[in-house]
Structure 1
């Protein structure tokens, strides 16, 4: 339910390419889920199944949140400005909060309708069609889930992976609808609204996990092991005698990092510049989804001041006194 990848090749692409992949994945999955939801709406009207209604409402919630996600990907393509110097990719995580709100509302509606059905039982009809819709919904949602999760992994988008997780939950709840139909056939009609309550509980559980990830990124948090990977990759570069503090944070579906490295105290300024460039290039190859790296070259013991190498060293001159010649 919480897929992840350690394949370094997943992130070897530009920010523009990753945004295009995210937008394409959102549009394709929107079409697939729209077709599934339309079929389910018709069968809900014919059958009165609360479990199928719950599944359909959740699918419609996903349709409503996919459009803002596409808009966020497009906003993230804008160039940084003097006011937003890191760009606009955080819009993607803000949309993640909106997605969470919509899903919470859909869960509340599902639980409300399920309780009403338990208190005021209604006759279910066209159970064969309900079963067919449940199975089609399960297959359609699973296909969308696989596509979204793979695309989200590839570009490092927490919002897109979360949407894939929600689609997979929809596939599971569609199977639960089929169980409800079997219960009605066996003479236990109360199983249909009970399945609706179970679906609502499952949605809430997935919602909590997804929102936790989005909030962690908004708070500049990273996954466990990320900083260890940055430090280990920096230490692999010849000429680095030690690795100090490392920092990293997400900006939408791309990552920014900074790392302090220790070098030979007798290193000249040009050699320090060359070393920082090699560290930066190695980190970009080894750390998935990394777009920008700041390298701080720290002299050996007894030297007074560190030297900073930015992501674009040619545009960031270094004070002549920062490193002894």
Structure 2
């Protein structure tokens, strides 16, 4: 039961064919997901701003600030997707895919800023008693925020995983945190109804703690990609796919790195020393085609060939 529940709230695909394999199509999916979620979050944030102004709820203010942070980071993400579609130049010979990873850092900075504002407002509310009003509207805004953000989260996470975008997945998890924090606002409303006004700012502090947790988790992935880190399973998949091609006697080196939502890789394969240059060239193309059919999100792949007796494993 727990496994099914976890699968439901953290959608993913077991089918590698579900991954989008062309760079242009992947970027188009990312841009569309960003625009659609931007519209959904914008509508939710506008509703919450009005109710915060009427009610004075710190917990709802914290949730609203978090939503506004999402709006601020979605535009740079769209720009990064568009930059990634540009052709390489003499100055940027590897293309502009790294722009997406850099936007991940911007997203982290905005998340950290929103957490700081939430803590500041919550501490002020604890030191200065405030009377909450329009509690029914606050409760309604919390429910709308929870549903709206969860819909955006599911959409972003699914789109991000389909195209291999760490930045888009991070934004999806950020939206899911918003959904949870919107539910937390309900406790603040219940506390106010029970004559416990301190519950609202305490919920604000709890929201800030959750936001910081999301920040740490998201930035770990973004920083790993900026440092050219990949999941070891990716290298295993590359090596296994290359080794199954007839004529490949072994794989002595496999390297890969993310550039935005596309993988770049180079392999060194061992072949029969008697293989002609032309046959080796054809074999390298065959391996390249095989890798692109079996490894999701794969972009440029470089295949080096050498006689089996001459090639030695590299450190």
Q: Note whether the superposition's TM-score is higher than 0.5.
A: yes
Alignment of 1:144-163 (within 5 A): 144-163=152-171
The answer to whether structure 1 residue 290 and structure 2 residue 307 are counterparts is: no
**8 Å CA contact retained: 1:254, 1:290:** yes
The answer to whether structure 1 residue 142 and structure 2 residue 150 are counterparts is: yes
Distance 2:72 2:54 in 1: 24
SS of equivalent to 1:225: helix
Distance 2:229 2:312 in 1: 29
- 1:175 aligned to 168, 183, 205, which one? 183
**8 Å CA contact retained: 1:104, 1:207:** yes
Distance 2:305 2:11 in 1: 36
- 1:221 aligned to 211, 221, 229, which one? 229
**8 Å CA contact retained: 1:10, 1:155:** no
Distance 1:12 1:50, change over 3 A: closer
Distance 1:60 1:267, change over 3 A: same
The answer to whether structure 1 residue 92 and structure 2 residue 136 are counterparts is: no
Distance 2:10 2:248 in 1: 36
**8 Å CA contact retained: 1:243, 1:260:** yes
**8 Å CA contact retained: 1:2, 1:165:** no
RMSD, aligned α-carbons: 1.6
Alignment of 1:172-211 (within 5 A): 172-211=180-219
Question: Could you tell me which residue of structure 1 aligns to residue 5 of structure 2?
Answer: none
Distance 1:164 1:285 in 2: 28
SS of equivalent to 2:124: helix
Instruction: Give 5+ residue unaligned stretches, structure 1.
Output: 307-325
Alignment length (residue pairs)? 305
Deviation of residue 250 (structure 1)? 0.8
Distance 2:140 2:261 in 1: 38
Deviation of residue 286 (structure 1)? 1.0
TM-score using structure 1 length? 0.90
**8 Å CA contact retained: 1:243, 1:259:** yes
Q: Which protein is bigger by CA-based radius of gyration?
A: 1
Instruction: Give 5+ residue unaligned stretches, structure 2.
Output: 1-8
Q: Deviations over 1:272-314 (max 9, x none)?
A: 122111111111111110011111112121x4899xxxxxxxx
Q: Deviations over 1:199-226 (max 9, x none)?
A: 0010011011111111111111112311
Q: Deviations over 1:92-131 (max 9, x none)?
A: 1111111111111110000010011111120111111111
